[in-house]
Structure 1
């Protein structure tokens, strides 16, 4: 009997670890798991730094999430691998402690959700393509509406809408200041 892990099992382990480092990984962990040309197909509302390719983009996305959500963690429920394609069913958990900024296609600030202090547990399915022991592609299906309801973003109260407008104005000012 061989002691070498099956390539499909290795792909599953790589996919799971690449999810876990979003919550707790150092930049070197991303360099070790993410291909230099890897693409995160979920980068449509994330920070401009997360819209490029490779470990730096994935790390920028992790920093974005960690800034807004204290205690960020992922509970892994199921992992299914077929060759180099891996699906991971998980629950992302955390507490909303800082503004969560989403960005428009051009990289400008789109929406800002001021911190609510609430916790959430949102189900997600992540899909990965693994090549030569590295993540080369990621996409996901998430329960964003469920998460928004748990965090009190939906339906927004008039007071929360006011806080959102103030937070967006502040984030836009900070964004312009960083570009100068």
Structure 2
């Protein structure tokens, strides 16, 4: 069993797939609406639709090489900037939701990102290489917007692909 299957099975076994009573997270193809809109906005390179997914008081609990803490803006602004760089770095970026689960006002999803490295990304000039990497993210949703995020992306794998 590979790592991704093991994680997905563990999440499935421990998470409740019921919608909250408020109906704030409608499902599309069995996946939370906000998760599907997240992937769609990025795949369509629609940074405005992507930004509209986040509450103005959004809190990002993920701090990594990809999203270090910074005094250069709000958490929402920094997240939008990070993903704008991803879109700019991969002109044909496609984002797929592999698995998504909900519990109460939260949802967890595993995303796969794939695209050709055609622009400056993570400080690396374009290589023309095909990139493929994943992230696992947890979102807390309020009034249809992402208000909190916890996540982990395969930054080491991404950097290895970028640097060949």
**Considering the TM-score relative to the shorter chain, is it more than 0.5?**
yes
| TM-score under structure 1 length normalisation | 0.63
Secondary structure at the residue paired with 2:91? strand
Displacement after TM superposition at 1:49 (Å) = 8.8
Asked if 2 retains the 8 angstrom alpha-carbon contact of 1:14 and 1:134, the reply is yes
Q: What is the alpha-carbon distance in structure 2 between the residues aligned to residue 68 and residue 49 of structure 1?
A: 24
Q: Does 1:144 align with 2:155?
A: yes
In our comparison, the structure showing a higher alpha carbon Rg is: 1
Q: What is the alpha-carbon distance in structure 1 between the residues aligned to residue 54 and residue 157 of structure 2?
A: 29
Per-residue CA distance 1:69-104 (angstroms, 9 max, x = gap): 221111111110001111111211111112224xxx
Secondary structure at the residue paired with 2:52? helix
Q: What is the alpha-carbon distance in structure 1 between the residues aligned to residue 33 and residue 159 of structure 2?
A: 30
Q: What is the alpha-carbon distance in structure 1 between the residues aligned to residue 62 and residue 126 of structure 2?
A: 23
Asked if 2 retains the 8 angstrom alpha-carbon contact of 1:70 and 1:94, the reply is yes
- Aligned CA distance change for structure 1 residues 75 and 124 (closer, same or farther; 3 Å): same
Instruction: Return 11-20 or 43-52, whichever deviates more.
Output: 43-52
Between Structure 1 and Structure 2, how many residues are aligned? Answer: 138
Larger relative CO (CA 8 A, sep 6+): 1 or 2? 2
| TM-score under structure 2 length normalisation | 0.69
Q: Of residues 74, 81, 88 in structure 2, which corresponds to 1:52?
A: 74
Structure 2 counterpart of 1:118: 129
Q: What is the alpha-carbon distance in structure 1 between the residues aligned to residue 71 and residue 118 of structure 2?
A: 22
Q: Can you give the 5+ residue segments of structure 1 that lack an aligned partner in the other structure?
A: 102-111, 155-180
Please report the RMSD computed on the Cα atoms of aligned residues, expressed in angstroms. Answer: 2.9
Give 1 or 2: higher helix fraction.
Answer: 1
Q: What is the alpha-carbon distance in structure 2 between the residues aligned to residue 115 and residue 100 of structure 1?
A: 7
Q: Can you give the 5+ residue segments of structure 2 that lack an aligned partner in the other structure?
A: 1-20
Per-residue CA distance 1:31-74 (angstroms, 9 max, x = gap): 532101112334654496975233x4433222111121221111
- Aligned CA distance change for structure 1 residues 132 and 62 (closer, same or farther; 3 Å): same
